[in-house]
């Protein structure tokens, strides 16, 4: 065999070996891919079965809840009434002390009642509350002479319920009203705010960088009131007027730099033990938004039903704002954020803490207002 033919045979043998190796690798890869797809398919089937089981259990739970609410609960109420001789409203009033614990249960009972009169009681005008109570007593066949306290308790709770609804509308009206620099009343309120917080410093002009000294973002504060409207200005002015010492202290603290922005010697010399570094007015508007959210969501019912003997008012809403301002101030110090960019995180965490506290039906803010003395208490 010639040398050329020998070389050709050698290359042919090598080619066959390479093709065999490629075929082997290809078969191995195909097998692995097949196993992977099989595993993925089994996992998908497993997840599908798990999801189906969850949906089934959820549907069964909802079905039994429906049966309970539709039939068993009403039947149970009928049996309890026959056994005790008292309707649900009587049992609530006699078994719960005045405040959120009682009023929330009465509100729930009226809302989920099948009777139109009881449902409509939640939205009556305050002037018609007394007549509505008489109608309820007549409907339930309750003798007012033998149950004198029941009428008083129902009236107090119903006034709280309709008062809360009216307060939401009043606060919402203020929030929706934009700040108008052409309105003398709006301008007077803004000037009063400056004088309360900067009494020794005359304002050089309506449009001025001096507004930044009390925590506004620019030369004209009206742009900062866009989100909360007049509600933000009302709250800030109320705080500055009714708890001036605390407001001034918070403003002074907020203007201090963070301790890591100056050297240690200067820090110790100035004794800046409360360095905060946030914009007072802007934080006030943000806390107004938080207080408004608590009110609209109904979370604030716990507090207001516990502190308002009858109808909650705008005054109590503003006192709540003052309390939350101070609590947020303390919370900000505790969190010790690195800069103002962490504001949203701290605010969200603070919001969650307040919500947890208000889930306790006996929780309230101290009803005696000096804002500096407000604190959460268990009644």
What whole-number percentage of the chain has pLDDT above 70? 72
Alpha carbon distances (Å) from 120 to 100, 127, 138: 20, 14, 15
Per the structure block, which two tokens stand in for 29? 């890869």
- Which position has the higher pLDDT, 277 or 264? 277
Q: What is the mean pLDDT of residues 206-218?
A: 92
E strands, 67-147, are: none
In terms of average pLDDT, the best of 68-77, 119-128, 187-196 is 187-196
What whole-number percentage of the chain has pLDDT above 90? 48
Task: Quote the mean pLDDT of the chain.
Answer: 80
CA–CA separation, 79 vs 323, rounded Å? 46
- Give the DSSP letter of residue 364: E
Q: What are 296-306's pLDDT values in tens digits?
A: 999 999 999 99
For the ranges 13-17, 141-145, 224-228, 307-311, which has the lowest average pLDDT?
Answer: 13-17
DSSP per position, 243-307: SHHHHHHHHHHHTSPPGGGS-HHHHHHHT-TT-----HHHHHHHHHHHHHHHHHHTTTHHHHHHH
| 228 Cβ contact partners less than 8 Å away, ≥ 6 residues apart | 175, 285, 288, 289, 292
Q: Which of 335, 230, 229 is nearest to 276 (CA)?
A: 335
For the ranges 20-34, 98-112, 178-192, which has the lowest average pLDDT?
Answer: 20-34
For the ranges 57-71, 256-270, 300-314, which has the lowest average pLDDT?
Answer: 256-270
Residue 304 CB neighbours (<10 A) = 24
Q: What are 319-350's pLDDT values in tens digits?
A: 999 999 999 999 998 888 877 888 999 999 99
- Which position has the higher pLDDT, 173 or 67? 173
Q: Provide the greatest CA pair distance for the chain.
A: 131
Per the structure block, which two tokens stand in for 263? 């050297």
- Which position has the higher pLDDT, 50 or 154? 154
Q: Is the pLDDT of residue 277 over 80?
A: no
User: What pLDDT is recorded for position 142?
Assistant: 86
H or E stretch at 368:
none
Q: Is the pLDDT of residue 275 over 50?
A: no
- Which position has the higher pLDDT, 17 or 118? 118
Query: Do 100 and 306 meet the contact criterion of CB atoms below 8 Å apart?
Result: yes
- How far is C-alpha 281 from the chain's CA centre? 21
User: What pLDDT is recorded for position 339?
Assistant: 79
CA–CA separation, 32 vs 37, rounded Å? 9
Q: What is the mean pLDDT of residues 144-171?
A: 92
Q: What are 3-53's pLDDT values in tens digits?
A: 444 444 444 545 544 454 444 455 555 655 555 555 555 555 556 666 677
| 142 Cβ contact partners less than 8 Å away, ≥ 6 residues apart | 87, 90, 150
In terms of average pLDDT, the best of 8-17, 73-82, 106-115, 312-321 is 312-321
Q: Which of 226, 329, 324 is nearest to 276 (CA)?
A: 329
User: What pLDDT is recorded for position 64?
Assistant: 63
- DSSP reduced 3-state for 363: strand
Q: Is the pLDDT of residue 95 over 70?
A: yes
The dihedral over CA atoms of 330, 333, 334, 339, expressed in degrees to the nearest 10, equals 140
DSSP per position, 302-355: HHHHHH-SSS--HHHHHHHHHHHHHHHHHHHHHH--SSGGGHHHHHHHHHHHHH
For the ranges 63-67, 188-192, 276-280, which has the lowest average pLDDT?
Answer: 63-67
pTM, full prediction:
0.73
């Amino acid at each position: 065999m010639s040398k050329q033919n020998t070389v050709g045979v050698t290359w042919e043998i090598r080619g066959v070996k390479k093709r065999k190796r490629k075929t082997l690798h290809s078969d191995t890869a195909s097998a692995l891919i097949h196993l992977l797809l099989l595993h993925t398919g089994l996992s998908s089937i497993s997840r599908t079965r798990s999801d189906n089981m969850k949906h089934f259990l959820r549907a069964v739970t909802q079905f039994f809840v429906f049966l309970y609410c539709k039939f068993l609960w009403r039947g149970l109420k009928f049996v309890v009434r026959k056994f005790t001789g008292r309707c649900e409203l009587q049992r609530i009033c006699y078994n719960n002390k005045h405040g959120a614990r009682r009023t929330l249960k009465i509100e729930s009972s009226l809302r989920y009642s099948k009777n139109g009169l009881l449902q409509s009681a939640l939205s009556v005008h305050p002037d018609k509350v007394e007549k509505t109570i008489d109608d309820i007593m007549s409907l339930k066949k309750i003798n007012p002479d033998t149950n004198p306290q029941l009428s008083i308790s129902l009236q107090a709770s119903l006034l709280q319920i309709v008062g809360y609804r009216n307060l939401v509308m009043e606060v919402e009206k203020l929030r929706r009203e934009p700040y108008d620099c052409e309105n003398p009343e709006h301008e007077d309120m803004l000037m009063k705010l400056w004088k309360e917080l900067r009494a020794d410093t005359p304002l050089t002009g309506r449009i001025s960088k001096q507004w930044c000294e009390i925590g506004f973002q620019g030369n004209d504060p009206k742009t900062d009131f866009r989100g909360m409207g007049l509600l933000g200005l009302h709250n800030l002015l109320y705080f500055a007027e009714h708890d001036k010492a605390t407001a001034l202290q918070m403003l002074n603290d907020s203007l201090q730099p963070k301790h890591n922005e100056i050297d240690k010697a200067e820090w110790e010399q100035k004794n800046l033990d409360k360095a905060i570094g946030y914009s007072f007015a802007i934080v006030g508007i943000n806390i107004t938004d938080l207080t408004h959210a608590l009110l609209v969501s109904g979370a604030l019912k716990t507090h207001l039903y516990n502190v308002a003997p009858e109808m909650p008012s705008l005054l109590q809403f503003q006192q709540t704002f003052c309390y939350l301002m101070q609590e947020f101030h303390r919370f900000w110090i505790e969190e010790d954020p690195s800069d103002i960019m962490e504001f949203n995180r701290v605010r969200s965490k603070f919001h969650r803490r307040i919500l947890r506290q208000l889930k306790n039906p006996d929780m309230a803010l101290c009803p005696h207002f000096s804002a500096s003395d407000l604190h959460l208490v268990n009644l």
